[in-house]
Structure formats: C-alpha cells, structure tokens
Structure 1
Amino acid sequence: MIYQIALPEDWAQAQFTGTYTVSTRGVGLEQEGFLHASDTLAQIEGVRQRYYADRDDLLLLVIDETRLDVPVVRESPAGSAELYPHIYGPLKLTAVAEVRPLT
C-alpha cells in the first residue's frame, strides 16, 4: 500500500470525475507530471507538516499499487536521499482501498 494526502474538496471532485489528479496541494498531474505519494505513514507526516499544516480536515488515501494501471516510480526529491512513490498517471478510484481521516 502507498498513501496520499487529499483535501476533502479534491476527493469530492474525484468522485465526480472518476479519477484523482491532484499531485500536491494546488498542483495537478498536468503541471507536475506525476502524483506524489508516500510509502510510510512517517513520510505522510512529513508531507502533512510541510504542505498541509494549516488544515485539520485532511483525508488519507490508501492506494493498492496492484490495482493501478499506470507506473509507480520511487524517486528522491531534490535535496533528499529518501525515496517516494510517484504515480505517473491519473489515480483511478478503484485503486483506492480506503479513505480515512488523517488525524
């Protein structure tokens, strides 16, 4: 399983369109080229603190990689040696095994 933070309004839009295309807060797949994700909950916490600290209504998307029909590549962001999964395409809702509040 891999994880991604979602804003409730972005997840609601995905329910309407059938795919999730938000890479990170305010940045879409078409701009970034991939969707940012995390392998561990520790990585999620770091992302939450960096990009979403002002929000307390976040959702955690639990993504089953075996259900994806687009590539996932683990890459290091600039200035980091840590690997993060990058999803190279839209996230189909059927690949999301669980959506839960991120507390």
Structure 2
Amino acid sequence: MMIFHVVSSEDWSKFEGKSIYEADSLQTEGFIHLSERHQVAGVLDRYYRNVPDLLLLHVDPARLTHEATYEAAPNGELFPHVYGPINKDAIVQIETIDQ
C-alpha cells in the first residue's frame, strides 16, 4: 500500500540531484506529513486550496529508511508521519495534481 505526500513543484525542485527529500515540516514539527490515498483529497482541500503547481509523491513505505508511523490528527484520523528525510528511492511515482 502506497502512502502519499503533497509538495509544491518549487519545493521539490530544491532537492533535484539529491538522494533525499525533506519537507519544511521536518524542521518545524520534527516529521514529514503523509497520507493514505483516501485522505489526499481532504488534505488538498484543507491545506492546499488554490495553491498552484503541486505534485503528489507516491511513497513505498517498505522502501523508507525512516519508518512511517501512524499518529492521530486533531480530528482523530490516523495519518502516516516520517521522522526523518524521505530517501528518494522510496518515491516510486510523481504525479502532477490538477486542481
């Protein structure tokens, strides 16, 4: 089962040529936010409404060097979090998000 991460094209481009990806939240919150497929639409609606040039990273949790941990959001829904950078070889597909 894949897990997913939303990122702007601009932020993603900062990691071109690198073997890892780090979302800003890794520094500010200590982890990278991810979602299951059925949660992506809600994440886009809550946090990325009217944000252009977004990508959806498809992440294979079995390939992660830092394990995904499921934790409750304020609404009680469980979301996967990664407490470390995401190794790019765990990203198996990059999809353009059309909003």
**Does the pair score TM above 0.5?**
yes
How far does the alpha carbon of each residue in 1:18-50 deviate from its partner, in whole angstroms, 9 at most, with x for none?
Answer: 32111xxxx43021111000012x311111111
Q: Distance in 2 between matches of 1:28 and 1:100?
A: 21
Determine if the alignment matches structure 1 residue 55 to structure 2 residue 47: no
2:3 is equivalent to residue 2 of structure 1: yes
% same residue: 36
Q: Does 1:14 align with 2:11?
A: no
Task: Name stretches of at least 5 consecutive residues in structure 2 with no aligned partner.
Answer: none
1:94 pairs with 2:89: yes
Computed over aligned residues only, the root mean square deviation of the Cα atoms, in angstroms, reads: 1.3
For residues 70 and 52 of structure 2, the distance between their equivalents in structure 1, rounded to whole angstroms, comes to 28
User: Which of these residues, 33, 38, 49, is aligned with residue 36 of structure 1?
Assistant: 33
| TM-score normalised over the length of structure 1 | 0.86
- Taking the aligned partners of 1:37 and 1:2, their CA distance within structure 2 comes to 6
What is the aligned partner in structure 1 of residue 64 from structure 2? 68
Using the size of structure 2 for normalisation, the TM-score is 0.89
The amino acid across from 1:59 in the alignment is L
2:77 maps to 1:82: yes
